[in-house]
Amino acid sequence: MDLRKENILIVDDDIDILELLQRHLQAMDYHTYKAVSVKEALFILKDTYIDLLITDIQMPEIDGLQLLKFTNEHYPEIPKLVVTGYPSVEDSLEVIKSGATDYLTKPFTKSELKKAIEKAFEQNATRKNRTVPSTHTNLYSDMVGESAAFKKVTNIIERVKDNKATIIITGESGTGKELVARAIHYSGKFSREPFIAVNCGAIPENLQEAELFGYIKGAFTGANENRNGFFQAAKGGTLFLDEIGTASLAVQTKLLRALQEKEITRVGSQKVEKVDIRIIAATNANLKDEIKNGTFREDLYYRLTVVEIKVPPLRERKSDIAILTEKFIRKYGIEFKDRLVRIAPEALQILERYNWPGNIRELENIVQRAVIMCDGIIKVKDLPDILKYQINFPENELRPLHEMEKEYIQRVLVHTEGNKTKAAQILQIDRKTLREKLK
């Protein structure tokens, strides 16, 4: 069997088992996603192209059987493998009925795991029949495209993926900046290390420093224990700082030191900690303008822009719209219709004509809506009116008051069929005044 780098989702509430499975799978050259609960697994399934699901049965709140049943109906193309430490005849029958291809009992050997995975892929005939765009590979995660603008971004990814140079990703909202950051991390040699994504704009300013760098017990009211921050969580891997322009000036100062000296200090501590991580920042703001306004440090800006990746807006890569549309149709067709959905050529032409001010996020939302509204084929009627041809009426030129008055009097006379008495009543003037105006 050809062991290309497939995406495998592992679901288990036992962290040790998750780590063991991840090591075994990565040694087999698979790419892994981990989830400690069914809820977390569903989020990954919704947003990620998964080739195989491996799940435990006994988990708190929602068990693995429910995950199997859900996946079997919403993502029928994904083969499923069960690992459990509590085998029983009843569970075995239920697992098979739920669509799983095999049932492994803990503890198991690496060889047993490999055979079970190969069996899962071989028995899953529908997986081989899925329609996947030729340019959509796992190398760049969920990024797809074939335009020159897209290839310019992937060319930079190729050059930076295997080193820890600081990177800043710029682009309009909705262009997929986080996808670029994930592609850099997961396509490079540090892919087995953590990828931690932080939205700086979502953290209150007074908590930014503690959340990023951690704190010690007693550092402030409510600090009842020592706690790691995002820097510690990303040890050895990548820390992605989205909306970096919203970071407070105090945090910017600490970020500058972290980049310069490769060290941080927890809130309330005097002890310096060395950090070995790659920083990728992103922004849709113009940081140079923020520097002029005094809200962003110039020295930090130059530290962050060792490598800059400009993500193009969708209007500059329209040749990718068909590929992106196919990706979203496949994703939401299976989720909402339990089958693949197609799009009519004339509807696709409308999508390719539109300028997409909301970029890829807007395209995904509109395709999602169209999939819900359609009857198996997305037609023009299933698309919102904003995408369709609009008539832009020119604004009337400004004219002198007497011309406008004359035009209105004539309209009233047409309405009264030439009856000047009725016209005068409507205009609230007497007949003599009306006669003067008509002259």
pLDDT digit string, tens, across residues 13-43? 888 888 889 899 988 988 888 888 888 888 8
Any domain includes 392: no
| Residue 375 and residue 409 in one domain | no
| Residue 221 and residue 305 in one domain | yes
**Tokens representing residue 248 in the block:** 């407070």
| Residue 280 and residue 375 in one domain | no
Q: Report in angstroms the alpha-carbon separations of 143 from 172, 178, 222, 241.
A: 16, 10, 41, 19
| Residue 217 and residue 107 in one domain | no
| Residue 107 and residue 203 in one domain | no
Instruction: Give DSSP secondary structure letters for 304-367.
Output: HTTEEEEPPPGGG-GGGHHHHHHHHHHHHIIIIISS--EE-HHHHHHHHHS--TTHHHHHHHHH
Q: Convert 155-178 to b/e letters by CB count within 10 Å (16 or more is b).
A: ebbeebbeebeebbbbbbebbbbb
| Residue 376 and residue 286 in one domain | no
111 within 8 A of 117, measured Cβ to Cβ: no
pLDDT, residue 54, reads 92
Specify the CATH number for the domain of residue 249.
3.40.50.300
pLDDT, residue 122, reads 81
pLDDT, residue 88, reads 63
Can you give the residue range of the structural domain that contains 342? 317-387
Number of structural domains the chain divides into:
4
| Residue 176 and residue 254 in one domain | yes
**Tokens representing residue 186 in the block:** 């997961």
| Residue 198 and residue 322 in one domain | no
Specify the CATH number for the domain of residue 23.
3.40.50.2300
Q: Write out the H or E segment, with its range, that includes residue 411.
A: helix 401-415
Q: Residue 90: which residues within 8 A CB-CB, separation 6 or more?
A: none
* Residues in a beta bridge with 280: 167, 240
Cα torsion for 258, 259, 263, 266, to the nearest 10°?
10
| Residue 321 and residue 262 in one domain | no
Any domain includes 136: no
| Residue 189 and residue 300 in one domain | yes
| Residue 87 and residue 62 in one domain | yes
Q: Write out the H or E segment, with its range, that includes residue 25.
A: helix 15-27
Mean pLDDT by 10 residues, the chain (439 residues): 70 85 89 86 83 87 82 77 72 68 82 88 57 43 86 94 94 94 92 92 90 89 87 93 94 93 90 92 94 94 95 94 92 81 90 93 95 90 84 62 80 80 88 83
pLDDT, residue 5, reads 72
Any domain includes 433: yes
Q: What is the pairing mode between strands 272-274 and 263-265?
A: antiparallel
pLDDT, residue 253, reads 94
Any domain includes 212: yes
> Closest Cα partner for 131 from 373, 337, 341?
341
| Residue 379 and residue 232 in one domain | no
